Amino acid sequence: MKILFAHSFFMAFDEKQKLIRTPYPPLGTLIAAACARREGHEVALFDAMVAEDTADFEKMVLAEDFDVVVFFEDNFNWLSKMCLLRMREACVTMIQAARPRVQHILAAGSDASDFPEIYLKAGADYVIKGEAEFRVLEILAAEEHPVMLPGIFRLHNDKPAGQAPIRGERNLSVFPMAAWDLVDVEHYRRIWLRNHGWFSLNMVTTRGCPYRCNWCAKPVHGRRYDVRDPLEVAAEVAWLKDRFKPDHLWFADDIFGLKPGWTRRFAEEIRRLDAVIPFKIQARADLMSAAAAADLAAAGCRTVWMGVESGSQSVLDAMDKDLKVPAIKEAVANLKREDIRACFFLQFGYPGETAADIRATWEMIRETRPHEIGISVAYPLPDTPFYERVKDQLHDQDHWLTSNDMKPIFQATYPADFYPQLYRYIHQKFVALNDPRHPLSPVGIKRFLRRLQTSRDLKRFGVEGIPFS
């Protein structure tokens, strides 16, 4: 069969991502396409990440005769896992455009797993919940329809009907390398070089996360952790280095190097193959021991992003983060000792967070001096304990429109408009903290705050002491 694989994350539809300009190819989509190709199907890709509009998809569907369209969202990209409304709307538009032209339409991804009826009513024949690569192949191989297997849902009496998904494949070696030939890699290279002066590509070594943070949704891989053989990963790095010559890699795993001894074996093999490329990972702070940091440095790691979330132990405990503040500080010291950039993901607005908790987060930043920070606002996604706690408050909006909304969609401690201001305020102070000569010095920050429409809220809510205490 002739199959078009597509996804619906348009960088062009997200103001924040348009500004940052760090696009990555849709790795999960490319792996799914490679699986279908291995079974003898002819495959093509519509890459929304670097497309201008859904009209580009419509032109592609009109120009070629596809038998099937598979909307396979890249679950290895955290942006896709945010299930943004703008991207859902784009997928619905594309499904409707493809409906008259193809035999079958399939949809898989985080949002489709949570809300299959939206995609089915838009015109998809099947929605696949959970890990979807092999379910796609089963549908493509079916001689009769409808297909009724675990994880596969269709409309019945105007409602989604199907069986619950089963656990994903544990042996990750059965998945082929991503179908890189479907991507316009040079287009990505031009964007990176024009905006940053260097070029990054993406890879994964694992699937899933076994931890229990109560705000973290896991609709595709669930609460699991399966890892590829380090020799296999090193060989893929060597191939990417030889084929595309990236300056940098992003390992998009939820948690890199959790399995004991994995990183050391990977470092040994990557050096044997002369395949060292600077890379960044995401990991837990309590995994960043002195030995782990040394192994990462030997493998070429230059940046570790840690989901520390808060400098307040009471907030971390409320999140079921299973993380202690001293472990965060120790992790930063261990990473800096190996000349690895220690970076923080932070989250404000979690239920019960007070001004004292916000100040504790700032104090942690000021004490540890991370190299970068990424700030978000508590965001309830379906099938999480956090969502169940606040779902009755989600009336007018249950998802963000784009990645820079930065407003709680539930009743947080302070009014919703407070949090975008806090987001900008902390970011600006962080810049000044790391470069006292920067124009955003304390004087510059005071001028900046006077220009903020709701800067008075910082004082009104007792948070003004964050930068000047």
Q: What is the pLDDT of residues 76-133, one digit of tens each?
A: 999 999 999 999 999 999 999 999 999 999 999 999 999 999 999 999 999 999 999 9
Same domain, 211 and 352: yes
Same domain, 157 and 205: no
Same domain, 220 and 364: yes
375-418 per-position pLDDT tens digit:
999 999 999 999 999 999 998 888 999 999 999 999 999 888 88
Which domain-ending residue is among 118, 138, 162? 162
Binning pLDDT at 50, 70 and 90, where does residue 463 land?
low
Same domain, 33 and 123: yes
Overall domain count for the chain = 2
In a domain, 126, yes or no: yes
Which domain-ending residue is among 374, 391, 413? 413
Could you count the other beta carbons within 10 Å of the beta carbon of residue 339?
9
Same domain, 105 and 228: no
Binning pLDDT at 50, 70 and 90, where does residue 445 land?
very low
Same domain, 211 and 288: yes
**Average pLDDT across the chain, whole number:** 92
In a domain, 383, yes or no: yes
The helix-helix angle for 325-337 and 355-368 (nearest 10°) equals 20
In a domain, 388, yes or no: yes
Range of the domain at 259: 198-413
Binning pLDDT at 50, 70 and 90, where does residue 434 land?
confident
In a domain, 169, yes or no: no
Residue pair 401/392 in contact by the 8 Å Cβ criterion: no
Same domain, 129 and 275: no
Q: Residue 282 belongs to a domain with what CATH number?
A: 3.20.20.70
pLDDT on residue 451: 47
Is the pLDDT at 439 greater than 60? The verdict is no
Q: What is the pTM of this model?
A: 0.93
168-208 per-position pLDDT tens digit:
999 999 999 999 999 999 999 999 999 999 999 999 999 99
Same domain, 225 and 119: no
Region 446-465: what's the mean pLDDT?
54
Same domain, 150 and 206: no
pLDDT on residue 431: 83
Region 59-63: what's the mean pLDDT?
96
In a domain, 309, yes or no: yes
Same domain, 124 and 203: no
Q: Which residues contact 74 (CB under 8 A, 6 or more apart)?
A: 7, 9, 26, 27, 28, 29, 80, 109
Q: Residue 93 belongs to a domain with what CATH number?
A: 3.40.50.280
In a domain, 184, yes or no: no
Could you count the other beta carbons within 10 Å of the beta carbon of residue 214?
15
Amino acid sitting at position 167: R
In a domain, 338, yes or no: yes
Which domain-ending residue is among 135, 162, 189? 162
Same domain, 11 and 149: yes
Same domain, 140 and 257: no
Is the pLDDT at 449 greater than 50? The verdict is no
In a domain, 132, yes or no: yes
Q: Percentage of the chain surpassing pLDDT 90?
A: 84
